[in-house]
Structure 1
């Protein structure tokens, strides 16, 4: 077992009771102080919501643009033809096509973080339901990934727009930036993420909506956030 440095012993002591509630800013700083991995870790947020997503009127899903970006290079594939295809390429899409792109994906080439399509291409994209659906990549008009404005959708995906979707247990997870970001940048991303989920509160939600909030890093501990400090909490 690796020997703990004095710094890490001190920081572990700071964690103390794992039931302690932290302010958002203190949690961000503590996770930065605790990082020891040799890569730039992601700051992750988890929200426990008062919803049961098995009911359609309690589903929480949408997109949010993180003002400070994600720190990740998102690969984007676009289903489009003609001028729309050219516009998507000009906007920075990594792969653009039609039937050829469909066949490529059916062959297992699915290394994309976002798949976008023009409305007229959904007949082709529909054949990929069982391929893209389980990976959460199926284009959806409600999320803005089925759109005639593919160039704008590509730019949004590349500049920090992420999708959120509640899981069966009523929890939403999201990566909201790298620990190398400034504290202010991470706090701005946190606020934007939470605000988007608060605004997406479904009509069927009963009782307290935002029940628990946690922050963690890729290799770090999970810290409980004082919900009273969180907008909408």
Structure 2
């Protein structure tokens, strides 16, 4: 299973609302970095009441006990913090700025497909190409040592509701 996150050089084109679970000085750091919601016990109560008005949840390791209480609410929505995607960290400032700046998480589904948003139609061709090469370089670096042969066999790009365009997978394999 390949799973990770990458910060796109040209962003995703979306505005992301970030919530942070932190204690003490980390709360101030999160507010200074631009987090939309910062809290602790009060944030747990708000989420339990059904107020989930954020797109990304970041937590410090010392607050994961609180986050675990609401795991059944956050898990199905894909909001549970995870160290592999960089949402459980002591460096709250970097996590918030990355999330606001165009961080995309990717993982392989059951059939071996990787889905990731790389931009919007309004982006320039150069910006889209740069975002795609960044994602492919990250995926190629994450290739497990046990995987033999061609790692990317097929690749396609599409808009949300449109037919896909096949991309030459040999070019994508060479991206480092």
Tell me which interval the TM-score lies in, with the shorter structure as reference length: over 0.9
Q: Secondary structure at the match of 2:118?
A: strand
Q: Is the 8 A contact 1:210 1:232 kept in 2?
A: no
Of 1, 12, 16, which residue of structure 2 is paired with 1:70?
12
Q: Is the 8 A contact 2:21 2:38 kept in 1?
A: yes
Deviation at 1:80, TM superposition (A): 0.7
> Which region of structure 1 is more displaced relative to structure 2, 198-207 or 60-69?
198-207
Q: Please identify the structure whose Cα radius of gyration is greater.
A: 1
Give the alignment's TM-score, normalised by structure 2: 0.93
> Which whole-Å CA distance do the structure 1 matches of 2:53 and 2:148 have between them?
38
Unpaired stretches in structure 1, ≥5 consecutive residues: 1-58
Query: Does 1:160 find its partner at 2:160?
Result: no
> Which whole-Å CA distance do the structure 2 matches of 1:228 and 1:86 have between them?
47
Q: Secondary structure at the match of 1:178?
A: coil
Query: Does 1:148 find its partner at 2:110?
Result: no
> Which whole-Å CA distance do the structure 2 matches of 1:196 and 1:170 have between them?
16
Deviation at 1:232, TM superposition (A): 4.0
Q: What is the aligned residue count?
A: 175
User: Structure 1: which 4+ aligned runs deviate by more than 3 Å?
Assistant: none
RMSD of aligned residue pairs (Cα, Å) = 1.5
Give the alignment's TM-score, normalised by structure 1: 0.71
Residue 87 of structure 1: aligned partner: 29
Residue 130 of structure 2: aligned partner: 188
Q: Secondary structure at the match of 1:164?
A: strand
Query: Does 1:178 find its partner at 2:120?
Result: yes
Give the alignment of 1:5-16 within 5 angstroms.
none
Give the alignment of 1:53-132 within 5 angstroms.
59-132=1-74
Q: Is the 8 A contact 2:4 2:105 kept in 1?
A: yes
- Label 1:232 to 1:137 Cα distance change in 2 as closer, same or farther (>3 A): farther
> Which region of structure 1 is more displaced relative to structure 2, 65-74 or 137-146?
137-146
Q: Which has the higher contact order (CA 8 A, sep 6+)?
A: 1
Q: Which string of whole-angstrom CA distances, capped at 9 and with x for unpartnered residues, describes residues 158-213 of structure 1?
A: 01111111111111111111111110001000000111111111244344211110
- Label 1:97 to 1:210 Cα distance change in 2 as closer, same or farther (>3 A): same
Q: Is the 8 A contact 2:8 2:102 kept in 1?
A: yes
